[in-house]
Amino acid sequence: MEFPSSPVPAAWLVRAGRDGEREKEALEVGLAIAGWHELDDLSVFATREGLREYVRATYPHAGTALVGNWTGQLWRFCSQIAVGDHIVMPMKTRPGVVAVGRVTAEYRYRADSPVGFQHVRPVEWLRTDIAKAAIRQDLLDSMGSLLTVCGLTRYDAARRVAALAERGIDPGASDDVGADIAVQNSRDLLNEAARRDANDPVRMTVRDFLDRWGLVRRGSTSVERVTADLAEQGLTTRPPFPDVGIDSTIDIIQVGEEPTLKFALTEAQTAEDTKDASEMPSVSLHVGALPAANQGVASVRPDDTLKQATTTMLTKRYSQLAVIDGDGKLHGAVSWQSIAEAWINDPGAPLTKAIARSKPAAFDEPLLDLIKPISENDFVFVLGADKVSIVGIVTAADLTQRFGDHAGPFVLLEEIERRLRQVVDNSVPRDQITKHARDKKLASLHGASALTMGNYCRLLSDADNWQRLAWSIDHALFLHELDEVRNIRNETMHFSADPIQKDHIRRLDGFLNLIRTVTPDF
């Protein structure tokens, strides 16, 4: 049989059931077999969305995340795995062994086969006795995924699986990612989460969670990296880690296992407010990311008195209080304005007459959408991940501080770059500026305004250009600090829901003070 030419065929994991119940059939007949025994022929679905609706209708009790996860696995099995790709099947009946094969035909539905054995891909098994000891730990961890079907894409997996098929030995990743401590820490965490009972998930703060990857902020690149690792293992976080404050608590939960005849769906699998990791959005600024949205909220009961409310507000210096009954239901808020309006109409008015209706915001609601209601009402209450309990209050003052935290680094960087631009234009010949610019044509026309921060580093590393500035400061230390500023600028320019680190602000402020000292006339 001929296969499509490709430098390295893609590699896929296809497990043969929770207990390896499909392994014997798979090896004897030459098949990769998926489960999902309630589903009929999937070849009739030309689109992923059509398949999703079929899965949703067949499993009405499955939550949104689980439907999305199962749809993804089945779509990969039926439509994305190509003829010629490699299949890896970790063995449950022989725990220390892995089989590797090559796909020989498109998806088939065997209507007359036993329950759980109908969805198949024909496979030529090339090796059925590869010892797990011959596979390095990073790739082996990927093969431990809870998913029935997943792509093996990380850590140079396609090339390594091809080597396993040919020689039975894993050559390791070309970039030696196994030596990365942060990678090892994240793998340990995900392996622990996969081993846990589904109703006893790993629980930790977002800050500690990110630290396992060696991360301190959630930019788009870091979120994509972490969600890819979660999705590969059949895990997700609840609530989604990009949507809440960095010190909020999240659970790492299992959503990827196929349905079986013996096991019921877990609470996480049936929850509608859980997102599959592979469908998590890119990081954006949600109201739940603000610290105030997760610090609880002071409240009074509807049957309390106005005196109790005003005494609490004066003592705590609050401008408003939530009104929450004994069942946790939000009735609204009392504020100094609503109290004044109630007293004007009736000096003896009860607290219930001073309640102003207040629509709470979901923790994952975009903060930009709430600027107008917060500016009009001075606050908004925030719902927790359960979409019922009130977990915080965000005020206009919180908004001001938040946007100040994000704008501060830009203000510092703008002045640093302006002063560098002016002194270089005044002191360094245009031909030298052009020589070190990334866009030489633009630099020849506009001078230092065409330089990036990295360009400044190269330009001022030149001893002659440095002498032209006539600054009485240490050259090597200046270049070191400038390079640090360059790194901070690059991180700042990539939007993150988390404010820049305080030590970075201090570093920018210190460097700006240095530049101001040597450029007093600018």
CATH number at residue 357: 3.10.580.10
Give the pLDDT confidence of 251-285 residue by residue, as tens digits.
998 887 788 766 666 666 666 667 777 777 655 67
Helix, strand or coil, per DSSP, at residue 393: strand
Helix, strand or coil, per DSSP, at residue 258: coil
Asked if pLDDT for residue 336 goes beyond 90, the answer is: yes
CB atoms within 10 A of CB 417: 19
Let me know: does 296 contact 96? Beta carbons within 8 Å.
no
Banded model confidence at residue 371, pLDDT cuts 50, 70, 90: confident
Higher per-residue confidence, 293 vs 103? 103
Distances (CA, A) of 242 to 208, 218, 224: 14, 7, 10
Residue 6 lies in a domain: no
Q: Which of 5-9, 98-102, 381-385 has the lowest mean pLDDT?
A: 5-9
Q: Looking at the 3D structure of the chain, how many domains does it have?
A: 4
Residue 488 lies in a domain: yes
Q: Quick one: 417 and 364 in the same domain?
A: no
Enumerate the β-bridge partners of residue 354.
Answer: none
Q: Quick one: 303 and 378 in the same domain?
A: yes
Given this model, what pLDDT does residue 4 score?
44
Asked if pLDDT for residue 182 goes beyond 60, the answer is: no
Task: Name the amino acid, one letter, at 201.
Answer: P
Query: 329 is written with which tokens?
Result: 């239901």
Q: Quick one: 81 and 35 in the same domain?
A: yes
The range of the structural domain enclosing residue 421 comes to: 399-518
Residue 154 lies in a domain: yes
In sequence order, which residues have a C-beta less than 8 Å from that of residue 179 and are 6 or more positions away? none
Q: Which of 246-250, 469-473, 483-487 has the lowest mean pLDDT?
A: 246-250
Given this model, what pLDDT does residue 179 score?
45
Residue 325 lies in a domain: yes
Residue 28 phi/psi, 5-degree rounding, is: -70, -40
Give the pLDDT confidence of 435-480 residue by residue, as tens digits.
998 888 888 888 898 898 899 999 999 999 999 999 999 999 999 9
Asked if pLDDT for residue 23 goes beyond 70, the answer is: yes
Q: Which of 97-106, 165-174, 465-474 has the lowest mean pLDDT?
A: 165-174
Q: Is the dihedral of CA 147, 150, 154, 156 positive or negative?
A: positive
Given this model, what pLDDT does residue 327 score?
87
Banded model confidence at residue 172, pLDDT cuts 50, 70, 90: confident
Q: Quick one: 371 and 410 in the same domain?
A: no
Q: How far is CA 314 from the centre of its chain?
A: 41
d(CA 256, CA 506): 44
Burial of 255 by CB count in 10 Å (0-12 exposed, 13-18 middle, 19+ buried)? buried
Higher per-residue confidence, 4 vs 483? 483
Residue 104 lies in a domain: yes
Q: Quick one: 428 and 510 in the same domain?
A: yes
Q: Quick one: 190 and 206 in the same domain?
A: yes
Asked if pLDDT for residue 356 goes beyond 60, the answer is: yes
d(CA 160, CA 141): 14
Helix or strand (DSSP H, E) at 260: none
Given this model, what pLDDT does residue 496 score?
63
Higher per-residue confidence, 29 vs 62? 29
Given this model, what pLDDT does residue 284 score?
62
Single out the residue in 268, 285, 302 at which a domain terminates. Answer: 285
Q: How far is CA 395 from the centre of its chain?
A: 27
Given this model, what pLDDT does residue 181 score?
56
Looking at residues 355-378, what average pLDDT do you find? 86
Q: Quick one: 171 and 189 in the same domain?
A: no
Given this model, what pLDDT does residue 216 score?
81
Let me know: does 232 contact 226? Beta carbons within 8 Å.
no
Given this model, what pLDDT does residue 265 score?
66
Q: Quick one: 363 and 498 in the same domain?
A: no
Helix, strand or coil, per DSSP, at residue 299: strand
Single out the residue in 343, 359, 388 at which a domain terminates. Answer: 388
Q: Quick one: 224 and 138 in the same domain?
A: no
Asked if pLDDT for residue 397 goes beyond 90, the answer is: no
Q: Which of 54-63, 273-282, 334-343, 399-408 has the lowest mean pLDDT?
A: 273-282
Query: 466 is written with which tokens?
Result: 């440095």
Four-point Cα dihedral 115, 16, 255, 44, nearest 10: -50
Residue 32 lies in a domain: yes
Helix, strand or coil, per DSSP, at residue 392: strand
With pLDDT > 70 as the criterion, what percentage of the chain qualifies?
A: 91
Between CA 235 and CA 269, with CA 93 as vertex, the angle to 5 degrees is 25
Q: Quick one: 116 and 51 in the same domain?
A: yes
Let me know: does 370 contact 361? Beta carbons within 8 Å.
yes
Q: Quick one: 403 and 365 in the same domain?
A: no
Residue 3 lies in a domain: no
Greatest mean pLDDT among 204-208, 257-261, 405-409 lies in 204-208
d(CA 113, CA 120): 10
Query: 116 is written with which tokens?
Result: 């759980």
With pLDDT > 90 as the criterion, what percentage of the chain qualifies?
A: 43
> Which pTM was predicted?
0.62
Query: 519 is written with which tokens?
Result: 């450029």
Distances (CA, A) of 436 to 135, 358, 424: 47, 57, 12
Given this model, what pLDDT does residue 314 score?
94
List the beta strands (DSSP E) in 189-291: 202-205, 235-238, 249-254
Given this model, what pLDDT does residue 367 score?
81
Higher per-residue confidence, 375 vs 55? 55
Place of tokens 């960095």: 246
Single out the residue in 176, 194, 212 at which a domain terminates. Answer: 176
Given this model, what pLDDT does residue 262 score?
62
Residue 502 lies in a domain: yes
- Cα end-to-end distance, the chain, whole Å: 74
Task: Name the amino acid, one letter, at 354.
Answer: A
Distances (CA, A) of 132 to 103, 137, 148, 309: 22, 9, 19, 66
Return the closest-CA partner of residue 254 out of 194, 211, 305: 194
Helix, strand or coil, per DSSP, at residue 90: strand
Between CA 220 and CA 155, with CA 189 as vertex, the angle to 5 degrees is 60
Asked if pLDDT for residue 177 goes beyond 50, the answer is: no
Q: Quick one: 151 and 19 in the same domain?
A: yes
Given this model, what pLDDT does residue 178 score?
45
| CATH number of the structural domain spanning residue 152 | 3.10.590
